[in-house]
Amino acid sequence: MNRAEIVESLKKIVGPDRVITEEGLLKEASVDRFRKYENICGVYTQPLPAAILYVEKSAEVAELLKWASSQGVNLVPRAGVSATEGGLETVVPDSVVVDCSRMKRIISIDPVNMQATCEAGVSLQVLDDKCRALGLTTGHSPQSKPLALMGGLVATRSIGQFSTLYGGIEDMLVGLEAVFPNGQITRIKNVPRRAAGPDIRQVVLGNEGGLCYITEVTVKLFPYYPENNHFMGYLLADMKLGFEILREVMVKGYKPSIARLYDHEDGAYHFSHFAGDNCVLIFMAEGPAGVAQATAAGIKALVEAHPECQAVDPKHIERWFAHLNWDPKAIAEERVEIKETQNIGHTTEISANWSELYPIYQAVIKRVRAEVPDLTLLGGHSSHGYINGANIYFVYYYNLVNIKPEEEISKYHLAIKKIIVEETLARGGSMCHHHGVGKHRVAWIKEEYGSSYYILKTLKEAFDPNKIMNMGDIWPIE
């Protein structure tokens, strides 16, 4: 099928108004924030999609997927466009970008059963604001909250900044509706728990549009007590001790909503007004007054038992907390700054068990410094803790020296990502903590999974036999 035929077919499915073929928009739709420099420079290296399609109903999604399966047309599901790992790149020529942002109906906010149901295109910010007005919260707060849509958050296995208390989206998701490539509309019902076989929600969670198209989600709700928040901050000299303290907090059973450790480089970037050349530990305790108070007191005693830690005025942490997220304005400002300074930043996040975190951190910093030119900042922080380990969020900025826009990724970003992934996998960690695989960590997916790749591969073969769902993402094109 050629591009014109694809577009004509799409118009028959959803009507002409919801099929977009304007070249500028197709260019924008061929990339995500992974290729932000190319995008800023107006250089587009990926095959342009044939169209962007706005879906509004599950039934038309079913018809679309069935048609795409029969014609072998690649679909790239799209939600809030906050992806950073190339998940939205249209690597297959004449793909169709399937956008859910018009599916924005909040179906119910149920304060008795403490769950909210909404269509896939509902903004997390909008949903959470409505919940907060009722004294409730989703508990989910990724940095992309002002942009992210509910379907995309589930599809990418998102995690928020308060995960240590509320968990990731996998802990919040109750049930959902998703459409599979054969046109089957499936609903997973909303119950507190069940032991009726495998948890099939996990097939959908994190599939990155590679198995199915999410049309509706139901998430848990929690009471919202912002008035009880306790903020704590500490300065310390080194990351090794920082990881030990984070571990102690988690292992002793405390549940702060935020437990973070910044190294001195990343700390200086965010906290130059109080951190000096130190690493920074940050905690926030929330919940019912007594619980929040006890959590804060326990963590305070635990950290202050380490004389190397110097307490920071909590008001600094409170102000940092109020400006955590990035929104369209911040992204627009970032574009101008990158263009003018020719300096750009990216991140790569991994997870590992406690015993491996510091060795990974050390190895990555050492290798990146030695192997990659033109760095202006190389650091990281740990922002999500568990009983058995945590994540590290590596942050790196570099000056763009003597390159064409399309060379930025290979010279810098992928070169750094490669080192981070290699050092993590070598120590048994996971190469993706919460940004997803996208199209640029696929090269290591078999190493990531080892013998369990059999399960992953079989899922793709079973649900997407005609290979029409976001090809090149998670599963390599072979």
The binding site for another protein (CB under 8 A) comprises 268, 271-273, 276, 313, 315-316, 318-319, 322-323, 336-337, 340-343, 369, 374-378, 397-399
Nearest-approach distance from CB 41 to another protein, in angstroms: 17
| 116 versus 368: smaller Cβ distance to another protein | 368
- The CB-of-103 to another protein minimum distance in angstroms stands at 19
| Min CB(439)–another protein separation in Å | 28
The encoded tokens of residue 295 equal 């959590």
Query: Cβ of residue 460: shortest distance to another protein, in angstroms?
Result: 41
Least CB distance to another protein at residue 200 (A) = 38
**CA–CA gap between residue 265 and residue 247 (Å, rounded):** 21
The half-sphere exposure of 409 on its side-chain side, counting CA atoms within 13 A, is: 18
d(CA 439, CA 470): 10
Rounded CA separation 115/136 (Å): 10
| b/e map 221-247, b = 16+ CB within 10 Å | bbebeeebbbbbbbbbeebebbbebbb
Q: For residues 456 and 207, is the Cβ–Cβ distance under 8 A?
A: no
Q: At what angle do helices 239-251 and 289-304 cross, to 10 degrees?
A: 140
Nearest residue (CB) to another protein, 322 versus 455: 322
Q: Identify which of residues 7 and 131 has a Cβ nearer to another protein in the complex.
A: 131
Give the nearer residue to another protein in terms of CB position, either 337 or 406.
337
CB of 8 to another protein, least distance (A): 36
What is the nearest approach in angstroms of another protein to the Cβ of residue 276? 6
Least separation in angstroms between residue 262's CB and another protein is 14
Q: Which is nearer to another protein, 282 or 471 (CB)?
A: 282
Closest to another protein by CB, 70 vs 399, is 399
Query: Taking Cα atoms as reference points, which of 57, 60, 69, 58 lies closest to residue 178?
Result: 58
Which helix (DSSP H) or strand (DSSP E) does residue 282 occupy?
Answer: strand 279-285
Nearer to another protein, 233 or 242 (CB): 233
- Asked if 298 and 269 touch (Cβ cutoff 8 Å), the reply is no
What single DSSP character describes residue 259? E
Cβ distance to another protein smaller for residue 132 or 446: 132
Question: Facing residues of 261 across strands?
Answer: 281, 382
What does each C-alpha distance from 11 to 15, 25, 184, 209, 454 come to in angstroms? 4, 17, 21, 22, 38
